Amino acid sequence: MARRRIAFVLPVYDEVESLTAFHAALTTAIAERPDLEFELVYVDDGSRDGSLDLLLELREADDRVAVLGLSRNCGHQIAVTAGLGAVGAADAVVVMDTDLQDPPAVALELIARWEQGADVVYAQRRTRRDSRFKRTTAWGFYRLLSRVASIEIPRNVGDFRLMDRRVVAEVGRYREHDRFLRGIVAHVGFRQEAVLYDREHRHAGRTKYPLRSMVALASAGIVGFSTAPLRWISRLGFAISFMAVLVAAYVLYVRVFNPEDAVPGWAFLGVGMFLLGGIQLIMMGVIGTYLGRVYTATQNRPLYSIALVARGSAETDPSSR
Ligand code: UDP
Ligand code: MG
């Protein structure tokens, strides 16, 4: 049997200080599996610090290295997507960061789980050594996401994961622009398993995810996997309309029991204000419902992904390993 082939997709943005150490650590780790073939696809996401030249040097020294250079900084999620599209014929693909926060040794554990039959093995952070701010915001974000998302997206999981080639092929069918890859992979399905690990410190340099990008990623996650905010509009509308009823009851009470406190015209104004506001929000919610459908349709995601076909005398996996 031919040796199975594992590709690594490695996004790089201004990592010149970490790359040499990362590459050394990764090659040492994969040397433990001489029974597998490897391809290391580095995606340079428009670095400006000479990372690309360093990557080309790594390629000179090691022909398992492939380098993909994006024309400008497109962001981590797009860089990974580009890398997934560029891997050669691989049986499985591992995505990991190149700042040594994702330990290469854990990648071997992911591969082992895949060999035992999992289609997606995601590395779940048991601990993380980021700033307190990042930890609390991440915690809040995952909580919110798991409440509103239409599918279950595992918590404390970044983009460090292994995907079987069937999953990679399915992920490639999701062409949405605001990408939240961990959501897309969860949406694809198949047999998904977790491996726990301790996230390390960044080897060198600063995070390339400033607050702005974190907020953008978080909103891609929520907006991409939930139309709940659109539904909140009509709920709010109903709540405000209900307040109109309360105001009406209060106005009536004053009219009957303390008529001397009643101000001419206030019933119409007070009740009308809440009622109109409520009706407008309900109507916006109606528009939102249709907008949600248009949005889902324009995302143009695959309706389903097939994991197995059993027909006649054969039972096949559409792209058997
Ligand atoms: N990265 C990228 N493009 C970007 C930002 C980051 O390719 O615009 C890469 C970066 O080089 C690293 C990975 O994505 O390999 C994760 O980025 P980072 O470590 O800065 O994020 P953090 O770990 O702080 O969330
Ligand atoms: Mg990092």
Same domain as 266, residue 207: no
Dist CA 68 CA 64 (whole Å): 13
Is 23:58 a contact under the CB 8 Å cutoff?
Answer: yes
Q: How far is CA 242 from the centre of its chain?
A: 38
Dist CA 299 CA 174 (whole Å): 8
Same domain as 199, residue 93: yes
Same domain as 119, residue 244: no
Of 97, 129, 142, best ligand 1 pocket probe by most atoms within 8 Å of the beta carbon: 97
CA of 250 to the centre of ligand 2 (A): 58
User: Which atom of ligand 1 is least distant from the CA of 45?
Assistant: 7
Same domain as 62, residue 177: yes
pLDDT, tens only, 287-318: 999 999 999 899 999 999 998 888 888 777 76
Q: And the tokens for 186? A: 């969860």
Give the residue numbers spanning the domain of 142: 5-226+302-320
β-strand partners of 232? none
Least reliable range by pLDDT among 6-10, 20-24, 266-270, 291-295: 266-270
Q: Residue 98: CB within 6 Å of ligand 1?
A: yes
Specify the length of the chain in residues.
321
CA of 99 to the centre of ligand 2 (A): 6
pLDDT at 3 over 60: yes
pLDDT at 320 over 60: no
Same domain as 142, residue 11: yes
SS3 of residue 28 by DSSP = helix
Same domain as 71, residue 151: yes
Strand 157-164 and strand 92-95: the pairing is antiparallel
CA of 80 to the centre of ligand 2 (A): 14
Q: How far is CA 182 from the centre of its chain?
A: 3
CB-based neighbours (< 5 A) of ligand 2, an ion: 97, 99, 101
Dist CA 116 CA 1 (whole Å): 17
Same domain as 315, residue 181: yes
Same domain as 169, residue 290: no
Same domain as 275, residue 310: no
Q: How far is CA 107 from the centre of its chain?
A: 19
Same domain as 216, residue 112: yes
Domain count, the chain: 2
Same domain as 132, residue 257: no
pLDDT, tens only, 51-106: 999 999 999 999 999 999 999 999 999 999 999 999 988 999 999 999 989 999 99
Is 301:177 a contact under the CB 8 Å cutoff?
Answer: no
The CATH number assigned to the domain holding 140 equals 3.90.550.10
Q: Which of 192, 190, 151 is nearest to 319 (CA)?
A: 190
| pTM of the complete model | 0.85
